[in-house]
Structures are given as C-alpha cells and as structure tokens.
Chains A and B, each alone.
Chain A
Amino acid sequence: MSSLVPVLEARGVSKSYRSRHRSVQALDGVSLAVPAGATLGVVGESGSGKSTLARLLLALDQPTEGTVLYRGAQVSGRRERELVEFRRRVQIVFQDPMSSLDPRMRVYDLLAEPLRALAVPGDQGERVAELLASVELPADAARRYPHQFSGGQRQRIAIARALGPSPEVLVADEPVSALDVSVRAQILNLLASLVRDFNLTLVFISHDMAVVRHLCRSVAVLYRGHLVETGPTHQIYRSPQHEYTRELLAAVPRVRTERVRAH
C-alpha cells in the first residue's frame, strides 16, 4: 500500500465510439492519477468526455487505447470475475437518481444488492440500516420504492448503495446536476462529510467549477476529450494556464462562489 502508487490511474486512455457513418473520439490520450485520499474534481462542459472517463475508470467500458489501473494493477480488459475486489473498492454514483435506481426494487433490496453480488460479509439487515443512517434517511425508507422519494432522497439512496461495499474510491458523475437547486447543497455537504468520515478518495465529475472548488482539493480540466490542465484547486483558481480553464472560471458567478466556499 505504497502511497506513491495512485489508487486509480488512467494511462494514455482513448475512447472512440463508432457508429455506421462516423467515429467520435470521446477521449484522446488522457492520463490521470488519483492518489489515495485525494478529492479530485474532473471538470468540463457536456461532451468533453467526463462520463466516458467515469465509465472507463469503473471498468464498465473498455478504452480503445491505454489502460486503467487500480493500485498499479490493470483493470481494463480484465474478466469480470477477476474484478470482484476492484468492484468492492471502487464505486460510482450516477447523475440522475430517477434512472439509476431500479423502480421495481424496494430500497432494502437496492441497498442489499451490492452486498449480495459482492458477497460482502456481515449482517445484511444491519448493514442496510447503517447505510440509511449514514445518508440521513429514516430506517423505514427500506420498505419503500424509489418513486416514493424526492430527487434528493433518491440520490441519498444511490449514495448509500455505492457505500455498501465500503469502497475506498467513490466516483460521482455529476451527482447533483439532475437535482433541484434547493437540495444540491444538502447532497454536496453530505458527500463532503462522507468523504471525511469514511476516508474516501473522491473523483467528482462536474461541469460546475464552483461546486468542484467546494469539494475538491485538486482539479483536472477536460476539453474535447483532452486533459488540458491539472493541479491543486487553489492554484488553478488563482492562475489558470489554459484558455479553456479561464473560460470555465469566468462562467462561475463570483458571489455564489464565495458563499459556497464559506461552508
């Protein structure tokens, strides 16, 4: 467990999607290392390849070129049965909790599924109760269905599900952009406190620089499939090197940034 080996790493990763008539290069030679304990924000506009990167980091999709490594071991291109430990250690929260929770499953089963699938030891019922408590949902939520919850509550359920196997890395793919503005701050604060309490390494994917500044100590800027800038958040804020980063920063309303920062 050398601290020098990044917990999650993308090495020269490219991904192109081919349709009948054309091929779209979603990611082009992206290299990114996430050290243990890091809170990394990946920012970029829609279409910049953020979600593709998330899928590749989770080994849910295979890169056309390059490799993804977990603690120095290659995970891209591996068979699913060799990835059990990786799946326990690296989890994901999706953007839209309306579509990321199976409408036919009760919350209990939604939260128990990862425990069953990954054979997580321990009492399932207790673990589900623990998970609900950790995302500040009442215990009786377990017997209800996703449609009986608000968007924010659903995202809490999705976060609880991701925490089930006690991962060390949480990849959050735009976890608040589908939510009402009024509940975004709550979910962000919840994520921040979970990262603190569980010592999570966070990869936070967002198009919103202000949110990233609030949650992440370092930032990687994606632009049209290229990684154009990486560095500590404060540095990138103070002296953005790339033109695109400056544009992204200019798009952040100042007053709001300061207020969020004050949390």
Chain B
Amino acid sequence: MTVVVVEAAGARSRAGLWRWARNPSAVVGGTLVGLVVLTALVSLVWTPYPPLAVDPSHTLARPSWAHLFGTDEYGRDVLSRVMAGSRISLYAGVVSVLVATAVGVPAGLLAAERGGIPAQVVLRLSDILYAFPALLAAITLSAALGASTTTAMLAIGIAFIPVFVRVTRSNALVVLGSDYVLAARAYGRRPLAILRRHVLPNIATTVIAQMSLLFSLAILAEAGLDYLGLGTTPPTASWGNMIETGQTYLSQDPLLSVWPGIAIFVAVLGFTLLGEGIAELRNARLGRSA
C-alpha cells in the first residue's frame, strides 16, 4: 500500500509542476521571487564589499566595474547594500505575514466554527483593527518600542490580521457547510479534527495565495516605514532607508535611490504575481471536475 501511495504522490506532483509551468504569473512571479531569495542567501556569505565598509575617497561614485551600482555618500558599495537590504525585506515580509497568519487564521477558524457570540467578538475586533490607521499604529509602536525592523514587522503584521480573519472565515464557512463535513460528523469526527482534516486542507491554497500577495505588500510597507524612519534605521542597509538617504543626494546622484527602488519593484512584482498565479491555479483546479 505504501509503495502505491508514494507512486501516486509522485505522479500528482509531476502533473502539478506541469500546470505551474503553463501559468505565466506563476512562472514570472516564481522566477523573480527566486531571484530575490537567492540574492538574500548569497548576501549572507558574500557581497562584493562589506555593506557597511566606508571608503571616504570614493563617495557618491558613478557605476563602474569596481562598483556596479556605484557608491553612496560614505563610499559604501551600493550593490552590496542592495543585496544586504534584500535580507531585511524578506525577513520583514516573512515575520509580518507569519504574525498575521498565526493570529488571523485561528481567529477566522474560530469565528467560522463557533458562530454566534464568539464569531461576533472576533469579527468586531477584526473590524476595529481594520479601521485603525496602520500608519498611526506604526508611529505608536515605534514611539513605544523605538524604531527598528521588529517594530515595523509587528506593525505590519498586526495591520494584516483582519485580512486573514476574513479570508479564513469565509472560506472555512463554505467547507463547514459541505456535505463531506456533515458526513465526517456522522462518523464521529469532532470539530477540531474536522478543522484539521477537512477545513485546513481545503482552504490552504487560498490562504497561501493571500500570504504571497500580502508578502509583497509587507515588503512595500516595510520599505515605507524605513523611509519614514519608523523601521530599520541606518547604518543597517534596508531598501527603504536607502531610498531615504539617496533622496538627500538626488541632484548629485539620482541613481542612489533608483537601485533600491528597482529592488523593491522586483520583489513586490514577484510576490504579487506568485500570489495571483497560486490563486489562478487553485481556480483551475476547482474548475476541473469529473
């Protein structure tokens, strides 16, 4: 039996790969995301120069073979800093989306499964969070905790919670209303087991697509908070604070802000397309029936 199941799983994942390969959003998005992730990984062990190494004799240098993206106002290598900045962006994206998922998905499941007063409480709290200006929350948090990457991640993560509550609840309600859940109750599955065995697997793709879409927003938001000085602070390289410092030297070296801008563009586009690709593939799967 085991052998049989393993074979079938292999065949299915091959079919899955093929469907992926034919979806342009998924392919382009996946490639861009792969590029950003690869850059972040490489930057852990190698960058052309140390991202914090100052060289007073080569400040604001134009792109050259020695410094492909040029140098900034302290003579630091911009390419190295863009590479190092990818780590901050990915890290912030991962943590903020995970925070939002870890709180939003269970809350959405609770609201869907229990209904009644628990659902009302969850949904009203979620509404309040949704209506609360995220920027104000970020300012408050950085006032309380000091500006840092962590502050930015938390602020973004909290702001995203309502999205996951809504997505999870509405999709879970559909699954919970299905005949196969009724059948599961008829053979004695309890609510928690039903959530784990039927609801989660059936809403997983939607939640993952949402995570990818919000990941791109989180990168954008984190860069924005860094730009405003509420998140990652210099000298640590982040795309947002690089744009901000580059702004000061816009007349001398306009490219200084352009490089991190391109990086943000690539990352955001990548995760957005990937999210859309996942959503499209999911819809294609649902459309495909006997």
Q: Which residues of A contact B (CB under 8 A)?
A: 55, 58, 60, 80, 83-84, 87-88, 91-92, 94-96, 98-106, 108, 113-114, 117-118, 125, 140, 142-144, 146-151, 154, 158, 161, 164-165
Contact of B178 among A99, A117, A140 (CB under 8 A): A99
In the complex, chain B residues 166-190 whose Cβ is within 8 Å of any chain A Cβ: 178-180, 182-190
Does B193 sit at the interface, judged by CB under 8 A? yes
The 4 closest A-B pairs by CB, nearest first: A114-B187, A100-B179, A87-B188, A143-B8
Shortest Cβ gap from B285 to chain A (Å):
9
Given contacts A96-B179, A99-B179, A100-B180, contact A118 B290 (CB under 8 A): no
Contacts of B201 in A (CB 8 A): 102, 104-105
Q: Which B-chain residue is minimally distant from A84 (CB atoms)? A: B188
User: B187 and A118: CB pair below 8 A?
Assistant: yes
User: Chain B contact residues: over half helix, strand or loop, or mixed?
Assistant: helix
State the CA gap A165–B186 with chains docked (Å): 11
Does B288 sit at the interface, judged by CB under 8 A? yes
User: B290 and A149: CB pair below 8 A?
Assistant: yes
User: A101 and B187: CB pair below 8 A?
Assistant: no
User: B290 and A147: CB pair below 8 A?
Assistant: yes
User: B289 and A98: CB pair below 8 A?
Assistant: yes
Q: Which A-chain residue is minimally distant from B198 (CB atoms)? A: A102
In the complex, chain B residues 128-187 whose Cβ is within 8 Å of any chain A Cβ: 178-180, 182-187
19 sampled A-B residue pairs with Cβ under 8 A = A83-B188, A87-B186, A87-B187, A88-B188, A91-B187, A92-B186, A94-B179, A94-B182, A99-B178, A99-B180, A101-B180, A102-B180, A102-B198, A103-B202, A105-B201, A113-B189, A117-B189, A118-B187, A154-B290
User: A117 and B290: CB pair below 8 A?
Assistant: no
Shortest Cβ gap from B167 to chain A (Å):
18
Does B45 sit at the interface, judged by CB under 8 A? no
Given contacts A143-B8, A149-B290, contact A94 B183 (CB under 8 A): yes
Q: Which A-chain residue is minimally distant from B11 (CB atoms)? A: A143
Q: How large is the interface on B (under 10, 10 to 19, 20 to 34, 35 or more residues)?
A: 20 to 34
Contacts of B289 in A (CB 8 A): 98, 147
State the CA gap A125–B179 with chains docked (Å): 25
Contacts of A91 in B (CB 8 A): 186-187
User: B186 and A58: CB pair below 8 A?
Assistant: yes
Contacts of A94 in B (CB 8 A): 179, 182-183
Q: Which B-chain residue is minimally distant from A81 (CB atoms)? A: B190
User: A148 and B186: CB pair below 8 A?
Assistant: no
Contacts of B14 in A (CB 8 A): none
User: B183 and A80: CB pair below 8 A?
Assistant: no
Q: Which A-chain residue is minimally distant from B286 (CB atoms)? A: A103
User: B183 and A164: CB pair below 8 A?
Assistant: no
Shortest Cβ gap from A119 to chain B (Å):
9
User: B202 and A102: CB pair below 8 A?
Assistant: yes
Shortest Cβ gap from A62 to chain B (Å):
13
State the CA gap A98–B179 with chains docked (Å): 9
Contacts of A60 in B (CB 8 A): 182, 185-186
The winner among A80, A102, A146, A150 for most chain B CB atoms within 10 A is: A102
Shortest Cβ gap from B247 to chain A (Å):
50
Given contacts A91-B187, A100-B183, A161-B187, 8 further A-B contacts (CB under 8 A): A60-B185, A80-B188, A94-B182, A103-B202, A106-B8, A142-B1, A143-B8, A161-B183
Shortest Cβ gap from A134 to chain B (Å):
17
Q: Which A-chain residue is minimally distant from B178 (CB atoms)? A: A99
Q: Which A-chain residue is minimally distant from B6 (CB atoms)? A: A143
Does B17 sit at the interface, judged by CB under 8 A? no
